[in-house]
Structure 1
Amino acid sequence: MNKILILTASIGSGHIKAAEAVETELRRLLPDAEITTVDFMARRISRIHCFMKDFYLMMLAFVPNLYDVFYKISGGSSGGTLVQNAFAWVMMPVMKKLVRRYEPDLVLCTHPFPEGAASLLRRRHEEHYRLATVMTDYSLHQIWLYPAVDRYYMATEEMRMGMIGHGFAVSTLRVSGIPVAGTLKEMTDKAAVRHAMAIPEGQPAVLLMGGGLGLGGIESNLRDLEKIEKRLTILVVAGRNQRLMERVQDMAYASHHQVLVWGYTDQVHFLMRAADLLITKPGALTMSEAFVLGLPMLLHDPIPGPETENAIYATQHGAAVWLHPREDLAQSVETLLCGDALSEMSRAARGCARPDAAAAIAEDLKTLLSRRS
């Protein structure tokens, strides 16, 4: 019986969603396998890891430019190695405990922190598990790159070519796309979803999201959308941000739009299917889901570093418009709602979609397991 340990990180929701998508396909392909998914940054796993996560989130909330500096430093070949090794050494003891507990044949990581610790442990202690990584970005970055990884799954051919340039073996690289839930490609009946949500026929629906943490200036976006005279349905996902959810509910009462509010919810795919336009930060998983659904995006406030690269990718492919600071949100939305802009962006989004990424990754992992020594 194969034993598979999937390691993710509760830093936002994207890494967890990627892990869940692949786990679902692995359970379908390998029904007898023992599969365990662990949040590597959870307090019950390590208080140190949890502190590091909290510090990371504080950086995003108060000093995003500091993260930009860190991202640039860790992107250089020498600086990147120094930063990577520091994180890997700190986290390796916890990784060792997890490996001793679960005795995996395969370790699959959807975040670079557990990947680094698993790579270091494998090199230092001659562990025999297979190691695979799902990269949840649309650009290549040093922080994902470690030796002793048997498989890398990535979003684009450009990333693969970049890794070849870094000296990685071609046999370890797979352009799979970023894994999303397999149910997304089955959600075809937009009219039925809108009817179930009581969205009036012909009324544009705009979805506001800021990831699982409720980031991204949702309140200010709502205020800006009040400038639009045409009545909209505005769907708001506040995530785990309870204070934001309460404030948005108060704003909904005074709005001339139809404003519907959710906290952290498993109904996001239905909300995305109902929407005509998604206003969000450019998280890679959110973008990947929007691609599959053909949902045009208005992107704003990227976290400096990886999300900036994600925004560049989506806009260059015609699937999104990037709203830069001091640009008028309301005017941009009104422009997009007129004419054929949204239909053209929808076609472009579907052109970027990789709905079968999770299934392709699971198939390749099954092959990798069958070849283990």
Structure 2
Amino acid sequence: MAAKKILILTASIGSGHIKAAEAVAQELKRQQPETEIVTVDFMARSTSFWHWLTKKIYLEMLNFVPNLYDVFYKLSSSETGGSCGKNMFAYFMLPVFERLQHELQPDGIICTHPFPAGTVSLWKEKHQSNLPLSVVMTDYSLHQMWLCSGVENYFMATEAMRQAMVEQGFAAENLHVTGIPISSEVLNLPNKAELRRGLGLGQERKVILLMGGGLGLGGIERTLQELEKIEQPLTLLVIAGRNSQLQQQAEDFAEGSHHTIRVWGYTEEVRKLMGVADLLITKPGALTISEAFALGTPMLLHDPIPGPETENAVYATKHGAAVWLHPGEKLAGAVEEIFHGNCLEKMHEQALQSAKPLASQDIVKIILRSAGFWAGHRE
């Protein structure tokens, strides 16, 4: 049998969709080494200038008018609004997928973002194609933008999401509660003490990791100022991402702080840094939460992007693995409360109980045993 080719379509809107695609690709290669895997960022400039420009406008909107995005998110949450939004983006992006499909001729497609998922769904409908399509949802809540026809397998984080899709008429056998895929690196990390030794960190101080995704969002400079109010000496690890201005601000702040502060820009060591932390202060991205669950890292969540990140914060808080800092609440006081008594230990246990560390393995097993994948779609 000829080797299969799998096309993974993702989108660099935040880092979570990309990380999920990488985790699935890594596991596909492990379970099916002869399979050819091609991963395409649907929103990259190299894929399409117009897709890239759409992404840039979206990110600017988040920076300057976050409430406007909240309105769009809520409007598209309804069945009618979601269908209109999904179709608008699908028709806009269809020519790019038609080019990719012609060039690559994949035997199956996996999407980790709703834009390419809706586009492939539309293409299948227009061409009456049986090309196998799997969709990996990267949120802890269901949104109509994810829901398409012609999807052979849906993978999701929670049973509540599955039940909601069943109620909307999706076939239960196509819906799989696997969790959100994370890298196998998380499962193979050394213990906390060993990680700290490797990074040259002492064992006696509490370690807090501050991060805001690859774009360095989330008010990290303000967080550092708040943490300076805590008298107890701490070790603060700051990941500024690709935000060079934030990196310089954090490095300047470290010179006058009574805490020990170490700063990284964009780094591949995020999971190790999460592994050494007693507490993670971050925006509630779904992949970040999933990795923190697997590592048992308690979280203090703040400044969610209206919409999906708010739902992610609700989920993690409801399960006892995180504290959600709302506007007006004092960060320093929240940290001191978390460090009091056995709160950290309880949050650690709740995080581990919420984890689905084998999501990538389960997703790939289901895809590989799908009849559509092995039968192929070509005449």
TM-score by length of 1: 0.99
User: 2:374 aligned with 1:370, yes or no?
Assistant: yes
Aligned equivalent of 2:60, options 58, 61, 70: 58
Question: Quick one: which amino acid aligns to residue 65 of structure 1?
Answer: N
Could you list the per-position Cα deviations for residues 38-84 of structure 1 after superposition, in whole angstroms to 9, with x for gaps in the alignment?
10000011011001000110111111101100000101111111111
Question: Quick one: which amino acid aligns to residue 107 of structure 1?
Answer: I
Give the secondary structure class of the aligned counterpart of 2:203. coil
Q: Distance in 1 between matches of 2:63 and 2:256?
A: 28
Indicate the residue corresponding to 1:105 in structure 2.
107
Q: Distance in 1 between matches of 2:58 and 2:300?
A: 26
**Deviation at 1:126?**
2.3
**Deviation at 1:329?**
0.3
Q: Distance in 2 between matches of 1:54 and 1:9?
A: 12
User: 2:238 aligned with 1:210, yes or no?
Assistant: no
List, as ranges, runs of 4+ consecutive aligned residues in structure 1 with deviation greater than 2 Å: 370-373
Aligned equivalent of 2:44, options 24, 42, 46: 42
**Deviation at 1:261?**
0.5
User: 2:232 aligned with 1:242, yes or no?
Assistant: no
Could you list the per-position Cα deviations for residues 208-239 of structure 1 after superposition, in whole angstroms to 9, with x for gaps in the alignment?
01011110000000000000011100000011
**Deviation at 1:127?**
3.0
Indicate the residue corresponding to 1:263 in structure 2.
265
Q: Distance in 2 between matches of 1:242 and 1:10?
A: 19
Q: Distance in 1 between matches of 2:263 and 2:146?
A: 36
8 Å CA contact retained: 1:105, 1:128: no
**Deviation at 1:200?**
1.9
Aligned equivalent of 1:185, options 178, 187, 192: 187
Indicate the residue corresponding to 1:314 in structure 2.
316
**Deviation at 1:339?**
1.1
Question: Quick one: which amino acid aligns to residue 222 of structure 1?
Answer: L
Could you list the per-position Cα deviations for residues 158-211 of structure 1 after superposition, in whole angstroms to 9, with x for gaps in the alignment?
000000011101121110100001121222411011112222221000000101
Question: Quick one: which amino acid aligns to residue 9 of structure 1?
Answer: A
8 Å CA contact retained: 1:133, 1:149: yes
Aligned equivalent of 1:231, options 206, 230, 233: 233
Q: Distance in 2 between matches of 1:216 and 1:354?
A: 26
Q: Distance in 2 between matches of 1:76 and 1:6?
A: 28
Aligned equivalent of 1:299, options 298, 301, 306: 301
Could you list the per-position Cα deviations for residues 115-155 of structure 1 after superposition, in whole angstroms to 9, with x for gaps in the alignment?
11111001102233210100000001101001111110000
Q: Distance in 2 between matches of 1:127 and 1:45?
A: 23
Q: Distance in 2 between matches of 1:303 and 1:344?
A: 27
Q: Distance in 2 between matches of 1:324 and 1:307?
A: 13
Q: Distance in 2 between matches of 1:291 and 1:22?
A: 18
Indicate the residue corresponding to 1:277 in structure 2.
279
Give the secondary structure class of the aligned counterpart of 1:270. helix
Give the secondary structure class of the aligned counterpart of 1:37. strand
Counterparts of residues 100-179 of structure 1 (less than 5 Å): 100-179=102-181
Question: Quick one: which amino acid aligns to residue 262 of structure 1?
Answer: W
Please, which runs of 5 or more residues in structure 1 have no aligned partner? none
**Deviation at 1:338?**
1.8
Q: Distance in 2 between matches of 1:302 and 1:189?
A: 30
Give the secondary structure class of the aligned counterpart of 1:315. helix
TM-score by length of 2: 0.97
How large is the Cα RMSD of the aligned pairs? 0.9
**Deviation at 1:371?**
4.5
Deviates more, 1:184-193 or 1:251-260: 184-193
Q: Distance in 2 between matches of 1:83 and 1:189?
A: 45
Indicate the residue corresponding to 1:355 in structure 2.
357
Indicate the residue corresponding to 1:222 in structure 2.
224
Indicate the residue corresponding to 1:346 in structure 2.
348
Aligned equivalent of 1:77, options 76, 79, 100: 79
Question: Quick one: which amino acid aligns to residue 316 of structure 1?
Answer: K
Q: Distance in 1 between matches of 2:146 and 2:237?
A: 34
Q: Distance in 2 between matches of 1:171 and 1:189?
A: 38
Q: Distance in 2 between matches of 1:188 and 1:263?
A: 23
Q: Distance in 1 between matches of 2:144 and 2:257?
A: 45
Q: Distance in 2 between matches of 1:236 and 1:362?
A: 34
Question: Quick one: which amino acid aligns to residue 161 of structure 1?
Answer: Q
Question: Quick one: which amino acid aligns to residue 374 of structure 2?
Answer: S
Q: Distance in 1 between matches of 2:247 and 2:355?
A: 31
**Deviation at 1:311?**
0.4
**Deviation at 1:370?**
2.2
Q: Distance in 2 between matches of 1:253 and 1:125?
A: 61
8 Å CA contact retained: 1:252, 1:259: yes
Could you list the per-position Cα deviations for residues 80-131 of structure 1 after superposition, in whole angstroms to 9, with x for gaps in the alignment?
1111100000000001101111101111000001111111001102233210
Indicate the residue corresponding to 2:327 in structure 1.
325
8 Å CA contact retained: 1:89, 1:117: yes
**Deviation at 1:372?**
4.2
Deviates more, 1:106-115 or 1:361-370: 361-370
Q: Distance in 2 between matches of 1:97 and 1:372?
A: 20
Q: Distance in 1 between matches of 2:61 and 2:76?
A: 16
Q: Distance in 2 between matches of 1:53 and 1:127?
A: 29
